[in-house]
């Protein structure tokens, strides 16, 4: 059983999920210095936002395989350092999506209807509605900055209020805007000029820090409403304070701040503002979901499975993973073939994705091929995290394209992965597809058209296309009591060379003596044993 340290509190449901498979050491609230003393034999570490997963900790955590962040932000985790060590970093970006979206709406409505102030007045014994005249959302233009998971949820919810929703996000496809019925705005300043309400839903990066500042407030409508439930600092607080005092911003709702905690923040002195202490994700449902999800992800990672929310892998959603899984398996098996058939160092890889697979997120499929390619050479040193880095360190260049299948009839395959592998000695071609039963099939190998299920152990024999070779090979295998499960022979042109793929039963032992006897058969050019 692996050892999992839970350094910060997660829901008990998550702890129980971990205990089903591993030894769990709950150390809620442990100090950094104390953790350094016990982390050496830890296989997995779960944190929230306090513990620092830095070089010092990683250098002591000799067995660490996965770091789980129970939440979204990873500011406290040195991801590149984890990647260099082959340590997977996973988080739960979607677990609090609903809560954050709903909190955005709550702050917006609380600010424009003066809920905090009216509540305080009634609790102090007053009864005067005069100061609390609000505004409606109906008919307003909502400007969303960032149409990701939370931004799109906010869009659908605010559309129900009878609003016009526009959004700025240069990294989101036009199709996503159409899916959510949102008008795409090409320029941030244009959105600011049109919006009655501005709400931000972007990560905090160098690009987004202060992106709503004095310039934008100078362009905004008088009486604009501003909401930030994303990350502190995306809206410049000094500029917001000035704009509210001058009346440019009529109302504001803030859950996040440039400095947290934020005691004495001058924004708190303003009347027409609703604030909360970064608790947008803090609901019973979200916290239970976060704990359960991070535990399940850590379990999957320790089993060696692909994790949908790996931070240092291309991000996959659960709905994407189902469609991708057969292709990930196919690509990894395709990659395993090369170095088991030849030892020529790879200079360049050219990937071509055709048909249905071309519409998927092929980045992860490419990573799977790289892992398979390097695994016969590096063994456990290569994984889904560091395979791209290992390839880069080996000077392997990559080119990826999406187009119609090259050299094969278009009607023959409705989905195809082709890889051309170039070395100083020449080229090597391999292609694969997915069968109607979602099974991987190799359809091209070294330029030969084939149809092989890449599972178990396969003996590949390249031979002269002449009578007697097949019979002699099967005789050798029979004498060695090796049971043939499947055999396929393919050739380019009659009388030239042929490729034979012989799948053998799992209990068959292919030792060096058997390989030598196969190579001794007249007409045989090469024999290689490939394990998948």
pLDDT digits (tens, 9 = 90+) for 158-211: 999 999 999 998 877 777 888 899 999 999 999 999 999 999 998 887 788 999
Residue 215: count of CB within 10 angstroms of its CB: 15
Q: Which two tokens stand for residue 100?
A: 């954050």
Task: Report residue 266's pLDDT band, with 50, 70 and 90 as the boundaries.
Answer: very high
Per CATH, the homologous superfamily of domain 3-94+286-312 is NAD(P)-binding Rossmann-like Domain (3.40.50.720)
Nearest CA to 12 out of 57, 51, 70, 55 is that of: 70
Q: Is the pLDDT of residue 405 over 60?
A: no
Cis before 261 (ω within 30): yes
Q: At what angle do helices 97-112 and 115-123 cross, to 10 degrees?
A: 70
- pLDDT 10s digits, 33-81: 999 999 999 999 999 989 999 999 999 999 999 999 998 778 899 998 9
Q: Find the range with the poorest average confidence among 279-288, 294-303, 372-381.
A: 372-381
| Averaged pLDDT for residues 376-385 | 76
Rounded to the nearest integer, the mean pLDDT of the chain is 92
What's the DSSP call for residue 183? E
Please state whether the predicted TM-score (pTM) of the whole model is above 0.75: no
Q: H or E stretch including 503?
A: strand 497-504
Alpha-carbon Rg for the chain, nearest whole angstrom, is: 30
Let me know the angle formed at the C-alpha of 358 by 356 and 359, rounded to the nearest 5 degrees.
75
For 97-275, which CATH superfamily applies?
NAD(P)-binding Rossmann-like Domain (3.40.50.720)
Q: Which of 239, 245, 195, 241 is nearest to 218 (CA)?
A: 239
Question: Mean pLDDT across the stretch 466-478?
Answer: 93
User: Mean per-residue pLDDT for 497-520?
Assistant: 91
Pairing mode, strands 197-200 and 224-228: parallel
List the catalytic residues.
231, 260, 278
Helix, strand, coil tally for the chain in percent (to 5): 35, 25, 40
CB 167 within 8 A of CB 182: yes
Domain locations in the chain as residue ranges: 3-94+286-312, 97-275, 317-454, 455-532
Beta partners for residue 89, in sequence order? 67
Phi, psi of 128 (to 5 degrees): -150, 110
**What pLDDT band is residue 407 in, cutting at 50, 70 and 90?**
low
Mean pLDDT, range 505-512, rounded to an integer: 84
Identity of the highest mean pLDDT range in 92-96, 220-224, 497-501 = 220-224
pLDDT for position 318 = 62
pLDDT tens, 111-141? 999 999 999 999 999 999 999 999 999 999 9
**What residues are paired with 251 via a beta bridge?**
225
Q: What is the structure's pLDDT at 326?
A: 93
Any alpha helices (H) in 236-361, and if so which ranges? Answer: 237-246, 284-302, 318-341
CA distances 425 to 357, 421, 429, 448, 456, Å, are: 30, 11, 13, 19, 29
CATH 3.30.70.260 matches 455-532: yes
The SS3 call for residue 479 is: helix
Look up tokens 């060695």; give the residue. Answer: 480
Are 151 and 228 in contact by the 8 Å Cβ rule? The answer is no
Please write the tens of the pLDDT for every residue from 336-368.
999 999 988 898 999 999 998 998 889 989 999
Asked if pLDDT for residue 530 goes beyond 70, the answer is: yes
DSSP state of 483: P
Q: State the Cα–Cα distance between residues 423 and 368, nearest whole angstrom.
A: 20
Lowest mean pLDDT among 153-162, 231-240, 386-395, 508-517: 386-395
Length, in residues, of the chain: 532
State in words which class domain 317-454 has.
Answer: alpha beta
Do the domains 455-532 and 3-94+286-312 match in fold?
Answer: no
Q: Using alpha carbons only, what angle is made at residue 421 by residues 462 and 409, rounded to the nearest 5 degrees?
A: 75
What are the pLDDT digits (tens) for 267-291?
Answer: 999 999 999 999 998 999 999 999 9
């Amino acid at each position: 059983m692996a050892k999992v340290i839970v350094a910060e509190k997660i829901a008990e449901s998550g702890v129980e999920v971990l205990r089903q498979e591993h030894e769990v050491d709950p150390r809620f609230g442990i100090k950094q210095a104390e953790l350094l003393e016990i982390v050496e034999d830890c296989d997995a570490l779960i944190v929230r936002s306090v513990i620092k997963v830095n070089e010092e900790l990683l250098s002591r955590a000799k067995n660490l395989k996965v770091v789980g962040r129970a939440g979204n932000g990873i500011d406290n985790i040195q991801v590149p350092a984890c990647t260099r060590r082959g340590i997977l970093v996973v988080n739960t970006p979607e677990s609090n999506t609903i809560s954050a979206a709903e909190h955005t709406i709550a702050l917006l409505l609380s600010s424009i209807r003066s809920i905090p102030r009216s509540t305080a007045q009634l609790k102090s014994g007053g009864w005067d509605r005069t100061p609390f005249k609000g505004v409606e959302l109906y008919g307003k233009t909502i400007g969303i900055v960032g149409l990701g998971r939370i931004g799109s949820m906010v869009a659908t919810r605010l559309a129900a209020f009878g609003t016009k929703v526009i959004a700025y996000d240069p990294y989101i496809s036009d199709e996503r805007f159409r899916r959510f019925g949102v008008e795409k705005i090409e320029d941030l300043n244009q959105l600011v000029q049109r919006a009655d309400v501005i709400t931000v839903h972007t990560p905090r990066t160098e690009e987004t820090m202060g992106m709503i500042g004095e310039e934008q407030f100078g362009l905004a409508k008088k009486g604009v409403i501003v909401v930030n439930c994303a990350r502190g600092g995306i809206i410049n607080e000094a500029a917001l304070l000035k704009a509210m005092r001058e009346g440019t911003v009529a109302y504001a709702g803030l859950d996040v701040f440039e400095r947290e905690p934020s005691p004495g923040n001058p924004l708190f002195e303003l009347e027409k503002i609703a604030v909360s202490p970064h608790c947008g994700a803090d609901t019973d449902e979200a916290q239970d979901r976060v704990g359960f999800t991070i535990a399940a992800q850590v379990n999957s990672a320790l089993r060696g499975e692909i994790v949908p929310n790996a931070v240092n892998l291309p991000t996959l959603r659960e709905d994407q993973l189902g469609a991708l899984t057969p292709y990930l398996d196919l690509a990894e098996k395709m990659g395993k073939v090369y170095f088991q058939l030849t030892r020529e160092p790879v200079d360049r890889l050219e990937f071509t994705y055709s048909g249905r697979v071309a519409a998927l997120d092929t980045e992860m499929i490419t990573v799977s091929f790289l892992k398979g390619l390097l695994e016969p050479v590096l063994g456990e040193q290569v994984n889904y995290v560091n395979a791209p880095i290992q390839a880069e360190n080996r000077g392997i260049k990559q080119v990826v394209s999406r187009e119609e299948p090259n050299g094969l009839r278009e009607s023959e395959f409705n989905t195809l992965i082709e890889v051309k592998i170039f070395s100083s000695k020449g080229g090597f071609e391999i292609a694969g597809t997915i069968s109607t039963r979602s099974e991987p099939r190799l359809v091209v190998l070294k330029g030969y058209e084939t149809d092989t299920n890449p599972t178990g152990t396969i003996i590949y024999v390249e031979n002269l296309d002449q009578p007697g070779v097949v019979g002699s090979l099967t005789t050798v295998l029979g004498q060695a009591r090796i049971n043939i499960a499947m055999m396929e022979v393919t050739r380019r042109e009659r009388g030239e060379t042929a490729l034979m793929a012989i799948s053998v039963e799992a209990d068959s032992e292919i030792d060096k003596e058997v390989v030598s006897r196969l190579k001794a058969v007249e007409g045989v050019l090469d024999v290689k044993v490939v394990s998948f």
